[in-house]
Amino acid sequence: MPELADIFRDWGGRYPRALSTEQRRAIHDISACRTPAIGGGALYSCPDCGAAHLAWLSCGNRHCPKCGNDKTTRWLAKRQAEILPVDYYMVTFTLPSELRGACLRHPREIHGAFFPTAAAALKELALDKRFLGAQIGMLGVLQTWRRDGEFHPHIHFLVPGGGLTKDGKYWVFPKNRGFLVATKPLMKLFKGKFKARLEELGLAGIAPPAVWDKNWVGDCKNVGDGMSSFKYLGAYTQRVFIGDKRVEAYDGENVTFRYNQSGDNKAARRTMSALAFMIMFLRHVLPSGFQKTRYYGLLGSARKEDVRNLRLMILTSRGQAPAEPEAFVVPPVRCPRCGAEMRLIDIWPRGPPPRTSGL
């Protein structure tokens, strides 16, 4: 089966445009990931059949599809300790199409303004007594792609269902289980905050004036318990818009990949030149050091130690124990020959692998 690494190795040196440091690094790392070119690895042994398995070191680049699955697994394992016994809500903010060009030209500034203004709008509206009237917490993840790979910046916020009263003594549940906040006033509030932030940055003129007069698109829906919600969001926290499994064909010139259509979720396919495919992929490479996953309010890093207290407060408020959330289990390394769980024998950071008769 073809891999993104094959495309990048073939076409990485023929890219016609100026590349950022992050984009050049992505091409290099994706091409070398889990190959002898990157150096280092781990040696596993099967206790049942005696087979040895050599795993080359991952590149660790957050834009690499091979590394994304491992990072998502570790991320989900850590989130288990943060789950609150409530329904969760997915609140999505989408930037209008008129601002996409500005995002590509000024990614650090535009995405940097996107996160705090969207979070501030959501926190402010949740404090309104017409909706929740409480302090909330949220986890936000920036996603820059549509399902077909085109550039489409938006943020998913995962919000526990409810919040603390202003005095911090009680947990308040939503008045209607299917409703957290109204999207129309939320997006209007966000638009104003985002415009003000761009003016502070001296970027107010990057979009046509008409963009400030149109209605901006947002969404808010109940997505169930914590772990199922985290699993849904986990697909966006560490992974890129496409992994190797969705690349169906590559003949050295053209690439065909599969995706699910928005709306009916039916499978669709798209074929394009390898160079156009790589150009599309590199548009989603984020600036160095930019955090695509952020926590706010009750879930902010300064409040991590309060999660246990929040859980107890919720249980007291509802007067009954909730159903246990689905546990997330980190899968072990399996033997490719017999399927048994393998044992880690050795790890080496760089250089040739250790000598073994099983390889």
Mean predicted lDDT score pLDDT of the chain: 84
**pLDDT, tens digit (0-9, with 9 covering 90-100), for 27-67:** 999 998 888 787 777 788 888 888 887 777 778 888 888 87
Domain ranges of the chain: 4-61+331-348, 78-241+284-318
3-state SS, one letter per residue, for 257-309: EEEECCCCCCEEEEEEEHHHHHHHHHCCCCCCCCCCEEEEECCCHHHHHHHHH
- For residue 339, what are its two tokens? 């399927």
Residue 322, pLDDT above cutoff 70: no
DSSP string of 98-165, one letter each residue:
GGHHHHHHSHHHHHHHHHHHHHHHHHHHHHSTTTT-SB-EEEEEEEEE-TTS-EEEEEEEEEES-EE-
Residue 238, pLDDT above cutoff 70: no
153 half-sphere exposure, CB direction, 13 A CA radius = 25
**pLDDT, tens digit (0-9, with 9 covering 90-100), for 253-288:** 999 999 988 777 789 999 999 999 999 999 999 998
Per the document, the length of the chain is 359
Q: Work out the angle at residue 346's Cα, subtended by the Cα atoms of residues 340 and 351, and round it to the nearest 5 degrees.
A: 130
Q: Are 118 and 294 in contact (CB under 8 A)?
A: no
* Tokens 């001296």, residue located: 202
- Judged by average pLDDT, the poorest of 182-191, 311-320, 335-344 is 311-320
Q: Across residues 17-30, what is the average pLDDT?
A: 87
- For residue 48, what are its two tokens? 């049942």
Whole-angstrom distance, CA of residue 171 vs CA of residue 310: 8
* Tokens 């064909």, residue located: 249
Q: Are 122 and 304 in contact (CB under 8 A)?
A: no
Give the DSSP H or E segment for 221: strand 218-224
Q: Are 338 and 48 in contact (CB under 8 A)?
A: yes
Residue 324, pLDDT above cutoff 60: no
Q: Are 185 and 125 in contact (CB under 8 A)?
A: yes
Q: Are 332 and 341 in contact (CB under 8 A)?
A: yes
**pLDDT, tens digit (0-9, with 9 covering 90-100), for 62-119:** 888 887 666 666 777 677 777 888 889 999 999 999 999 999 999 999 999 999 999 9
